[in-house]
Structure 1
Amino acid sequence: MGLSEEYAGQDGSLRRTLLDASLEVFAERGYTDAGLTEIAARCGIPVGSLFQHYGGKRGLYLALWEEFREEQERRTAATLTAERNRGVEDPVALFVAGARAYLEGAWDNRRLGRLLVEDDGPAGFDALRRQWDRAWVRRNARLLEIDERRRAGRVRVSVLTTVIGGTARELGDCGDETEAREIVDEVCGILIHLSAPPG
């Protein structure tokens, strides 16, 4: 291994350590009350190193959000690919499979998910979250083959996406995996009924 590869590995390891420590501190204290000094101390590094990698508390929070978002998108895309490879073509079946994957990811990453739905985030985060939510609605509309340019179609996809988002928040408060699975199964059944084309 060359020197640059070794440095990159150490750098990646430090970044992972910083993100893990920031998640712990944000989860314990909330974003507003979280201190960079405490995050750096949990990592055993000077605060300056934290700034060098993430530029401060906002950068750490946004990196956690980006990581959660990317993992959820990867998980959902992999599920949809697997379903299509099995020959599934029905838009509702694909949508519900994707929703299930998303909700299972929300359960698996519930600590981070719970943090990201709180109202205690950095300035401007709500606008970023709304922008991502709009993109999520558009992806769901394409998956369900619904014309979101029509108000009725847009509203239907928005309602379905809101159901998934609300359920993801509820999963953060589940007591155990059995309860989480029951909720996911129940909501997927509801989504099947709500997704059916009108008429």
Structure 2
Amino acid sequence: MTEATTGSTRAQITRAALLDAAREVFVASGYEDAKLVDIADRAGASIGSLYHHFTAKSDLWITLYDEYTRRQQHRSARAFRTALAAGEEDALRLFIAGTRAYLEGCWEERQLARIFLSGSGPAGFGLLTRQRFREWLHANSTLVNGHTRPLSDMLVLCLTAMATEAGREVAAASSKAKARRMIDEVLELMGRLYPAS
């Protein structure tokens, strides 16, 4: 292994440790009260190293958010593809399969879901989340509307908003059993919006 490779690997390990520490500190303290020195200490890194990898506290927050949303998108897309491969062609049922995976991800990553869906974060984070919502809305419309019983843009908007709000509640559930009941109920309600013909 070359010296450059070793340095690159070490940098990746440090960056990952900083993100893990940032997640822990943000979950424990919230965005406003989180201190960069606490994040660096928890990661076993220096403040200089933290600033080498991230420009500010907001950069850590947004990086964690981007990674979380990417995992959620992968969960939903995988569930959608699995349902499609199993022969499902109904657009609403495909949407619901993806939504179930998203909501289960909200429970699995409830600590992050709670902080990201709480409305706190750096200046401009609300605008970023609205932009990502629009991107998710467009992706949802594109995915489901090549199948039987296409969904109107307004129905996709309503369903996506329901999924987002349900995710907030699922993440705050007091138990896995309660989270599952919430997920089942919201998916059943979604099905009522566009009943089988």
TM-score, normalisation: structure 1: 0.89
Count the aligned residue pairs: 193
Structure 1 residues 131-179: Cα deviation after superposition (integer angstroms, max 9, x where no partner): 1111111222233429xxxxx9333222111110011000121112111
Paired residues for 1:19-98 under 5 Å: 19-98=19-98
Counterpart amino acid of residue 180 in structure 2: R
Distance 1:118 1:93 in 2: 29
Aligned equivalents of 1:139, 1:190: Cα separation in 2: 22
- What is the letter of the counterpart of residue 102 of structure 1? Y
- Runs of 4+ aligned structure 1 residues displaced above 6 Å come to none
* Residues 14-65 of structure 1: CA deviation (Å, up to 9, x unaligned): 2221111111111222111111011111112111111111112011001000
Q: Which residue of 2 aligns with 1:190?
A: 189
RMSD of aligned alpha carbons: 1.9
Structure 2: runs of 5 or more not aligned: none
Which range is displaced more, 7-16 or 103-112? 7-16
1:103-154 CA distance string (max 9 Å, x none): 11111111011111122211111111101111111222233429xxxxx933
Correspondences of 1:92-171 after superposition (within 5 Å): 92-145=92-145, 153-171=152-170
Whole-angstrom CA distance in 2 between matches of 1:171 and 1:10: 37
Secondary structure of the residue aligned to 1:87 is: coil
Secondary structure, counterpart of 2:11 in structure 1: helix
Contact 1:75 1:101 in 2 (8 A): yes
Q: How far apart, in 1, do the equivalents of 2:54 and 2:103 lie?
A: 29
Taking structure 2 as the reference length, the TM-score comes to: 0.90
CA distance in 2, matches of 1:109, 1:6: 32
SS of 1:95's equivalent in the other structure is: helix
* Distance in 2 between residues matched to 1:45 and 1:84, nearest whole Å: 46
Paired with 2:90 and 2:129, the residues of 1 have a C-alpha distance of: 29
Aligned 8 A contact 2:14 2:45 in 1: no
Letter in 1 for 2:109: N
Q: Is the 8 A contact 1:160 1:195 kept in 2?
A: no
Answering whether residue 181 of structure 2 is matched by residue 176 of structure 1, we say no
Which stretch of the first structure deviates more once superposed, 187-196 or 108-117? 187-196
Distance 1:40 1:155, change over 3 A: same
Q: Distance in 1 between matches of 2:90 and 2:2?
A: 50
Shift of 1:2: 4.1
- What is the identity percentage for the equivalent residue pairs of Structure 1 and Structure 2? 36
Q: Secondary structure at the match of 2:152?
A: helix
Residue identity in the other structure for 1:26: F
Paired residue type of 2:124:
G
